Amino acid sequence: MHLQLAWDATERGELVLAGPLADPADQAVLLFSDAAAAERFADSDPYVREGLVTAWRVRSWITVIGEAAATPVRPA
């Protein structure tokens, strides 16, 4: 159910990338299109609702390098 929720969010353009961190796989990073989408996902996520995920947070990310950067910063 968790994976279906994630793939559905991806198809809607809300979830950009997601996956567990490795060694140890005790956390995950999910990149959403905006904070509201992340909040909606967590509210609906069975991992959160069933207590498998006991803590989560939404943080903004200022992207400055790369073709998809929202605020590109290039050297002078």
Whether the predicted pLDDT of 37 surpasses 90: yes
Average pLDDT over the chain reads 96
Q: Dihedrals φ, ψ of 23, to 5°?
A: 50, 70
Closest among 42, 46, 43 to 2, alpha carbons compared: 46
| Sequential DSSP letters for 1-53 | -HHHHHHHHHHTT-EEEEEE-SSS---EEEEESSHHHHHHHHHH-HHHHTTSS
pTM of the predicted model, to two decimals?
A: 0.86
**Domain locations in the chain?**
1-76
Q: Which residue has the tokens 């509210």?
A: 43
